[in-house]
Structure 1
Amino acid sequence: MPLLRLFTLAAGLMDFLTGLGLVFFPAQLLPLMRVATPAPDALVFLRFVGAFVGAVGATYLWAFLRNHRAYLRAVFELTIPFRLAAGAYSATAIALGWLPPVWLSVPATDFALVAAQLWLLRQPRLWSDENPRA
């Protein structure tokens, strides 16, 4: 189904490219996000986070390239806990003042993707075995 593949490609590219940016170019990427760049010694932790963000994106891209509903379904199911954890942590950190409000895009994006993935997973016609190629 083109919808599943488009969604998977968009989510994968978003996270994979963001992760690469956080790993290799955090001081250049953060101002584009309107986020203050931390001290150089703190960038190592941001790069570590970027590695995980990029890995989540890579899982979506892996499923996209496999072009089979079973892989898409697996990625949708497996990334939900990671997105919920990232969204809940960042929302809590913002509420407690540990992160400035400009970081609201992180929980908003993660929770929106969780909602979309849950909705897509509950659409039986998308997961029909009639044509396993997505």
Structure 2
Amino acid sequence: MKRIRDWVCLGAGLMDAGTGVMLVVAPLFTYRLMGLSIEGVDSAFTRFIGAFVFSVGGLYLFAFREAVAGRRQSWNALWLATAWIRLWVGVVTLGLISAGGLEFAWISVPVSDLALAVYQWSSRERKDWGNDVY
């Protein structure tokens, strides 16, 4: 764990896994913690979103395990996959906020997702791209 990005990977994994579990177990409480309105919240749909958020966190934690084990190629693939997910979640969420479909309190989601996507893309490993055998 010599690199900052390994710590970012662990932090993002814990953040998403923890948020995902909370959205599944206590969706309304989690919304309140996030400063979001609970009026009209569909708990079943929020739990579904929580499963997705937890899964992304799990991918980060799996990538962290690969980094610790020195398996940089599989780490890099997971790093890019989670960056892709972050990019689209950030873009869609920002679009929904801009269009009035989500309240402004959601702004932490696109800010954190887009910042992580940019960081992840810029810190990916590029060595020997295209030389892999699949």
Counterparts of 1:39 and 1:101, CA distance in 2? 16
Structure 2 residue matching 1:99: 3-state secondary structure: coil
Q: 2:14·2:57 contact (CA, 8 Å) conserved in 1?
A: yes
Equivalent positions of 1:67-82 (< 5 A) are 67=68, 68-82=71-85
Is 1:88 matched with 2:96?
no
* Superimposed CA distance per residue, residues 23-72 of structure 1 (whole angstroms, 9 cap, x where no aligned partner): 111111111111011446x1111110110111000011012123232232
Paired AA for residue 30 in structure 1 = Y
| Deviant stretches of 4+, over 3 Å | none
Structure 2 residue matching 1:121: 3-state secondary structure: coil
Counterparts of 2:94 and 2:114, CA distance in 1? 10
Partner of 2:52 in structure 1?
52
Q: Larger RCO: Structure 1 or Structure 2 (Cα < 8 Å, ≥ 6 residues apart)?
A: 1
Is 1:101 matched with 2:104?
yes
TM-score (norm 1): 0.84
TM-score (norm 2): 0.84
Identity %: 35
Is 1:120 matched with 2:128?
no
Instruction: Give unpaired runs (5+ residues) of structure 1.
Output: 129-134
Paired AA for residue 102 in structure 1 = A
Partner of 1:35 in structure 2?
36
Counterparts of 1:71 and 1:6, CA distance in 2? 17
> Which protein has the bigger helix share?
1
Partner of 1:2 in structure 2?
3
- What CA RMSD, in Å, does the superposition of the two structures yield over aligned residues? 1.8
* Superimposed CA distance per residue, residues 72-105 of structure 1 (whole angstroms, 9 cap, x where no aligned partner): 2111111122112111111111011111101000
Paired AA for residue 7 in structure 2 = L
Residues matched between the structures, number: 124
Counterparts of 2:119 and 2:72, CA distance in 1? 16
